[in-house]
């Protein structure tokens, strides 16, 4: 684990950080980090937690890379300026419990069916997503679904019973 939240760190995340193949957790939240997220971070095979919440300028920008880890449980990239589409593969990760990309500049659609059935929290608010809201009736563990301040269609999704 590499956990350095709230440390006044500035600069970019070095690509070489992706060479630490045994890294399971990466938390650089609430620092002064900026720039793009190296694709090598997404390739960390054992990564279970990523937390890069910045809450300030400039924050992270550019696209969110694909994440290949099959043990990813916590995905917190809120309060940055990520752009482009959210990798749809995130919505099929069986291990994923929390997905929070609140307050970025993400665009595109969300898969109509989310097969990551262990999700407890999904936060997509304050982006530029569009299209239909996903069906969430199959997410028995879901406690919170927040998707306000986007451009989703007005049709409500199927809700859990």
Could you tell me which of 44, 51, 52, 88 has the C-alpha nearest to residue 70? 44
d(CA 87, CA 137): 21
Count of residues in the chain: 161
Per-residue pLDDT, 64:
98
pLDDT tens, the chain, 161 aa long: 999 999 999 999 999 999 999 999 999 999 999 999 999 999 999 999 999 999 877 799 999 999 999 999 999 999 999 999 999 999 999 999 999 999 999 999 999 999 999 999 999 999 999 999 998 989 999 999 999 999 998 667 666 66
* Secondary structure of the chain as H, E, C letters: CEECCCCCCEECCCHHHHHCCCCCEEECCCCEEEEECCHHHHCCCCCCEEECCCCCCCEEEECCCCCCCCCCCEEECCCCEEEEECCHHHHHCCCCCEEECCCCEEEECCCCECCCCCCCEEECCCCEEEECCCECCCCCCCCEEECCCCEECCCCCCCCC
């Amino acid at each position: 684990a590499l956990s350095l939240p709230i440390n006044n760190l500035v600069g970019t995340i070095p690509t070489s950080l992706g060479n630490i193949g045994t890294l399971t957790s990466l938390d650089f939240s609430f620092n002064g980090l900026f720039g793009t997220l190296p694709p090598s971070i997404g390739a960390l095979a054992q990564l279970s937690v990523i937390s890069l919440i910045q809450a300030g300028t400039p924050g992270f920008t550019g696209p969110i890379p694909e994440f290949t880890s099959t043990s990813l449980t916590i995905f917190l990239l809120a309060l940055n300026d990520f752009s482009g589409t959210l990798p749809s593969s995130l919505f099929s990760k069986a291990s994923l419990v929390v997905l929070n990309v609140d307050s970025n500049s993400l665009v595109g659609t969300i898969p109509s069916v989310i097969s990551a059935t262990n999700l407890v929290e999904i936060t997509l608010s304050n982006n530029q997503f569009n299209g239909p809201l996903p069906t969430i009736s199959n997410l028995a563990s879901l406690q919170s679904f927040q998707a306000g301040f986007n451009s989703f269609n007005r049709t409500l999704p199927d809700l859990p019973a």
